[in-house]
Amino acid sequence: MKKHHAEKLALALVFIFKCLLPVLPAVAGLLFWKKQYLLNYRRTLDKMKIHLNAISNGPVQHYFEDILRFNPEVCEPVQGHCSQCGNCCLNRQCVFLEQSGTDTYICGIYSSPLRRFSNCSSFPINGHDIERYQCPTYRVVSPYPVMHLQQI
């Protein structure tokens, strides 16, 4: 998708979400079958506001531009594992993120099939992704392995 189309779509989607904000905790509670979103309505609403501001700052556009219609031009080979630091979860501003240890986090909707319609399951697709969230454990690898010559 072209950059300016992605930009417009991102703006429209965020606008719709902002209009729906008062009911989003209820919608999320039902969609992801999580009663705590309903029980802690005020708290979830506050976190939703933070979440919406964070996704409007690039991630929604990135989704339309690169993820929704897989854009092979921006992909780079990456290697690593997830240490659950929570950086790529909107710098720990994701409303669905839950703390699992002193410095570790887990996704509260990880098993939901709806999670596929987000950037989350594709992270990281390239060095820009890694740098943007300062992921400590993934790195871009060269498609051409370096062969060190032995001295004889």
Q: Which residues of the chain form contacts with ligand SF4 (CB under 6 A)?
A: 82-88, 123, 133, 135-138
Least separation, in Å, of the C-beta of 131 and ligand SF4? Answer: 11
Residue with tokens 């703006």: 11
Least separation, in Å, of the C-beta of 42 and ligand SF4? Answer: 27
Q: Which is nearer to ligand SF4, 112 or 137 (CB)?
A: 137
Query: What is the distance between the alpha carbons of residues 62 and 57, in angstroms, rounded to a whole number?
Result: 10
Q: Which is nearer to ligand SF4, 83 or 100 (CB)?
A: 83
Least separation, in Å, of the C-beta of 87 and ligand SF4? Answer: 4
Least separation, in Å, of the C-beta of 124 and ligand SF4? Answer: 7
Query: What is the distance between the alpha carbons of residues 24 and 82, in angstroms, rounded to a whole number?
Result: 29
Residues 6+ apart with CB under 8 A from 100: 84, 106
- What does the DSSP 8-state code read for residue 21? G
Q: Which is nearer to ligand SF4, 29 or 129 (CB)?
A: 129
Per-residue 3-state assignment (H helix, E strand, C coil) for 28-97: HHHHCCCHHHHHCHHHHHHHHHHHHHHHCCCHHHHHHHHHCCCCHHHCCCEECCCCCCCCCCCCCCCCCE
Least separation, in Å, of the C-beta of 122 and ligand SF4? Answer: 11
Q: Which is nearer to ligand SF4, 5 or 139 (CB)?
A: 139
Q: Which is nearer to ligand SF4, 84 or 93 (CB)?
A: 84
